[in-house]
Amino acid sequence: MNKKDRKNIHDKKNLLKLLPAAAVIAAVTVTAVQGKSAEGLTKVSAGMEIKDAGELSGLLNAAYFDDNTLSDKSTTTAAKNKKKKRGIKKAAAKALPDESKKTSAEGQGSTTTPTTEVPEGGYKDGTYQGSGTGFGGTVTVQVTVADGKITGIDILDASGETPSYFASARGVVSKILAGQTPNVDAVSGATYSSNGIIQAVQNALSKAGAAEVSTVETDKNTKKKKTNTSTTKPVVISKPTGDVAYKDGTYTAQAEGFDGPVKVTVTIKNGKITVITNTNTDTKEYFGKAWAKIRPAILKKQAVYGVDTVSGATFSSNGILEATQKALEKAAVKKTTSPTPTPTAAPAPVKPDTGDSSDTDNKLYKDGTYSGRARGYSGFVTITLTIKDGKITEVNNTNSDTMSYFRKAWRYLQPAILEKQSADGIDTVSGATFSSNGILEAARSALESAKVTAVPTATPTPTESPAPKPTATPKPTATPAPTATPTVTPTPAPTETLTPAPKPTETPAPTPEGQYVDGNYSGSGDGNYGVGSVTVNVTISGGKITAASYDTIDDADYFTDAWNGIYGQILNNQSADGVDAVSGATYSSNGILQAFRNALSQAKRQ
């Protein structure tokens, strides 16, 4: 073998020795690239050693030189080979297990998008938390529901998710809010993270079910679960044993509904149930369904006995029926006790004998309609009170105040004034202080003008018994009988001429009666929430519409705007004909107008 061949063989051997070093460089380079691509950042496994340029050069030298080189070089090479082996073993043992999982698209979650059932009744208002499994672990969200709608979705924790993918996955949040359903498609390219968010929202909303099936409440007495639609025994309303009449006045009672107490106020006029109002903390959709059917049924039957509960709202129905029955029991007077009317008939003749002073007996206010005005939060409040038999029977308002504050105050203060029969000693409503003060001050002003002033005027009665009676002794002056004869003759003539004068005053009497018969009339209309959702009570006095009140289950915002726009027109026109609906509250407006027409049709003079 010549010298040239030996040289070629030696070069090949040296090249073969370079292969392990090249493999080390390639392994280090690939690992570094993988670390960067997985998270968008340059990362290295915890157990990996990074070689600098000097160490890589040593590896190359160790691979290149023969084992027969100088002893100092061989020692260095052996030591460096030891380092090389340790470094490679560590890198191979911990080669980014999490990132390799991501690059192979095998996350902890699922590629199948979950679905759930959306309750027919929507969701119950509140804030709910839920969790799901994304690519890198648990995703936690907070869902806010207001007015039965999903209004907000906040991501509380998604620490295990890759930021770039999770940013894309957040697109499902806007889909859920737009569609008002958690059953939406995942975002392409971020399936695991999308499904984690969707699953977490579904989990949260499972706690917010306001539908009939999912709204569950525990009855403390029976320790069993109940729903408003579950079969339950209706409230037992016993049939009256005899004929029952009602005393005029306003009576309030309370009973337990589905989701809290139900307070019912019943107004009796001329022995009849004319107005039924309520305040409650019950579940809105169930209570509204029950109230819309039960209230007109009680007004029609003039009793609670025989009025059925409403299917699908049994507990709310029971609360309304029981509270109304309790109120009527306070007003009930059995007709069988005939002796009671006779004593009441006896005082009647006494009234004309005592004059105005008799009106003060147990009566604080004079019958009639009185108004007062005061400033609220952002405008004026006018309160109109109807006094019947010395008691406040109706409290109505017109106002230009801020609706959100005024409504909050009105819902509490109106029944409070009726119950207390005064505007004094009633607290303002927290969060609506200015509006509360406006209502109370206007009511006080109205009551001030309604107060019976005959009590102080009764004191002058002693002036009838002063010394003029002793002056009656000069009766001898009456002896001039001749003077009496001339007076007799002229007196008859003037009296006859005076009597025709009142007759023309009697003829205009029919004209103020107008087109309506005095009394109180109720009518119902179809508002925003369907048939019979609006009821109007109209007071006719002197043949004219003098006051009106309402009861409704319509949306408060729309209805109040409609009422404020229509009520004044009807008072001015003395009719509901030709009155336009209020823009933006058409359904409620139509319900009000229909209810007025129905009531006024009953009041029209035949």
Say if residue 164's pLDDT is above 70. Answer: yes
Closest CA to 559 of 587, 531, 594, 522: 587
| Angle (CA) 360 366 372, round 5° | 135
Q: What is the pLDDT of residue 372?
A: 92
The 3-state DSSP class for residue 182 equals: coil
What proportion of the chain, given as a percentage, has pLDDT over 70? 62
Least confident of 41-55, 150-164, 545-559: 41-55
The residue ranking higher by pLDDT, 295 or 222, is 295
Q: What is the pLDDT of residue 562?
A: 86
Which conformational region is residue 40 in: left (phi greater than 0), alpha (psi within -120 to 50 degrees), or beta?
left
Each domain of the chain, given as residue ranges in start order, spans: 13-103, 126-205, 218-334, 467-509, 510-606
> What is the mean pLDDT of the segment spanning 283-294?
87
Say if residue 512's pLDDT is above 80. Answer: no
CA 379 to CA 399: how far, in whole Å? 7
Give the pLDDT band (50/70/90) at residue 326: very high
In sequence order, the 6+-apart residues with CB closer than 8 A to the CB of 226 are 216, 217, 218, 219, 232, 315
Closest CA to 363 of 346, 384, 382, 347: 347
In sequence order, the 6+-apart residues with CB closer than 8 A to the CB of 230 are 314
Q: What is the pLDDT of residue 216?
A: 38
Say if residue 519's pLDDT is above 50. Answer: yes
The 3-state DSSP class for residue 161 equals: coil
The highest-level CATH class for domain 218-334 is: alpha beta
DSSP code for 117: P
Tracing tokens 């309370």 back to the chain, one arrives at 254
Secondary structure element (H or E) that encloses residue 444, with its range: helix 433-450
Residue 490 has phi, psi (to 5 degrees) of -75, -30
Show the DSSP H helices in 460-603 as ranges. 468-471, 481-488, 492-498, 502-506, 510-513, 556-573, 586-603
CA 265 to CA 549: how far, in whole Å? 14
The 3-state DSSP class for residue 581 equals: coil
Total residue count of the chain as it appears in this document = 606
Say if residue 86's pLDDT is above 80. Answer: no
CA 140 to CA 203: how far, in whole Å? 10
CA 3 to CA 8: how far, in whole Å? 9
The highest-level CATH class for domain 126-205 is: alpha beta
Give the pLDDT band (50/70/90) at residue 277: very high
Give the pLDDT band (50/70/90) at residue 198: very high
> What is the mean pLDDT of the segment spanning 75-85?
45
Alpha-carbon dihedral 592, 595, 599, 600, rounded to 10 degrees = 60
CA 397 to CA 395: how far, in whole Å? 7
CA 183 to CA 88: how far, in whole Å? 50
Mean pLDDT of the residues in the chain: 74
Exposed, middle or buried, 124 (CB in 10 Å: 0-12/13-18/19+)?
A: buried
The residue ranking higher by pLDDT, 343 or 256, is 256
CA 305 to CA 402: how far, in whole Å? 41
225-226/217-218 β-pairing: antiparallel
Q: Across-strand partners of 268? A: 249, 273
CA 70 to CA 74: how far, in whole Å? 6
Secondary structure element (H or E) that encloses residue 226, with its range: strand 225-226
Q: What is the pLDDT of residue 357?
A: 41
Q: What is the pLDDT of residue 387?
A: 92
Name the pTM for this structure: 0.27
Q: What is the pLDDT of residue 382?
A: 92
In sequence order, the 6+-apart residues with CB closer than 8 A to the CB of 513 are 542, 543, 605
- For residue 560, count other CB atoms closer than 10 A to its CB: 21
Domain 510-606 coded CATH 3.10.129.10 = no
Least confident of 66-80, 148-162, 439-453: 66-80
Instruction: Let me know: does 586 contact 528? Beta carbons within 8 Å.
Output: no
The 3-state DSSP class for residue 292 equals: helix
CA 15 to CA 353: how far, in whole Å? 139
Tens-digit pLDDT profile for residues 384-428: 999 998 899 889 999 888 888 888 898 889 989 998 899 999 999
Q: Across-strand partners of 391? A: 388
CA 160 to CA 140: how far, in whole Å? 11
Tracing tokens 């007495």 back to the chain, one arrives at 221
Same fold, 218-334 and 510-606: yes
Say if residue 484's pLDDT is above 80. Answer: no
What proportion of the chain, given as a percentage, has pLDDT over 90? 29
Instruction: Let me know: does 165 contact 135? Beta carbons within 8 Å.
Output: yes
The residue ranking higher by pLDDT, 178 or 76, is 178
Tens-digit pLDDT profile for residues 168-185: 999 999 999 988 899 999
Instruction: Let me know: does 402 contact 435? Beta carbons within 8 Å.
Output: yes
Tens-digit pLDDT profile for residues 304-316: 988 988 888 888 8
| Angle (CA) 74 76 81, round 5° | 90
CA 498 to CA 304: how far, in whole Å? 56
Give the pLDDT band (50/70/90) at residue 134: very high
Instruction: Let me know: does 372 contact 460? Beta carbons within 8 Å.
Output: no
The 3-state DSSP class for residue 112 equals: coil
Closest CA to 135 of 175, 173, 105, 95: 105
